[in-house]
Amino acid sequence: MTRLIVWRHGNTDWNAGNRVQGQTDVSLNDLGRQQAVDAAELLVKLKPGAIVSSDLRRSADTAAALAALTGLSISYDKRLRERYFGAWQGYTMTEVAQLFPDQHARWQAGQEVGGDVESLDELGRRVSDALLDAAALAPPGGTVVVATHGAAARQGVGHLLGWPIEQLRTLRALQNCHWIELTLDDKRGWQVAAYNVGPFSERPVPPPV
């Protein structure tokens, strides 16, 4: 049975400041680097056969912590990048609410934001396609670990499973360096085996942006 681990990157200063990252290439902070090491020590026990990552540094450096323990090389896929948040990127969510009140209200309601923000459908489709290609790298019955981003992970997995947006909204945001475990059953297809698994953290959950 193929196992796919969809892993959110470690903490960044923009996460800590509730600042919208989107596709801005922000690095891990000290906490994020430690989270990556702690998570890698758990994930290595799953004996991954391949590691795939978003090419943005916060995900790539998270994946590198696991690569260091496994000796595996990392494949990079731009389709695993975070949702593109357009003009929101770089602002705190408080500033977004002030500067783009209508868009922010739609975002809070789980609706399409509009403007230059990537649609949920586009996000889900591109990430889901990347996840399927990553899963194909697994040896028979093997495990693939995919390092990506919060909104990308949730929407990509939801699209892969065929879940409507309303159902996805019942899932809380992934914590930094936590993951979703999917398994592929010959008869039932992809199934969720675990959600929001990872190293213990006392920090509050930052938004998946």
Where along the chain do its domains lie? 6-122+137-197
In CATH, the architecture of 6-122+137-197 is 3-Layer(aba) Sandwich (3.40)
Is 82 an active-site residue? Answer: yes
Looking at residues 42-61, what average pLDDT do you find?
Answer: 98
Q: What integer pLDDT is reported at residue 209 of this predicted model?
A: 56
Strand partners, 2: 184
Mean pLDDT across the chain:
94
Give the type of residue at 160: L
* Burial class of residue 40 in the structure, from the number of CB atoms within 10 Å of its CB (0-12 exposed, 13-18 middle, 19+ buried): buried
**pLDDT tens track for 92-149:** 999 999 999 999 999 999 899 999 999 999 999 999 999 999 999 988 889 999 999 9
Strand partners, 190: 184
Structure letter (DSSP) for residue 172: P
Q: What integer pLDDT is reported at residue 1 of this predicted model?
A: 85
d(CA 183, CA 191): 5
- 193: confidence class by pLDDT, cuts 50, 70, 90: very high
Q: State the pTM of this model.
A: 0.93
d(CA 51, CA 35): 17
Q: What integer pLDDT is reported at residue 140 of this predicted model?
A: 83
Answer whether residue 185 shows pLDDT above 60: yes
Structure letter (DSSP) for residue 140: T
d(CA 146, CA 9): 10
Catalytic residue among 9, 149, 159, 178: 9
Catalytic residue among 41, 82, 112, 122: 82
Looking at residues 5-31, what average pLDDT do you find?
Answer: 98
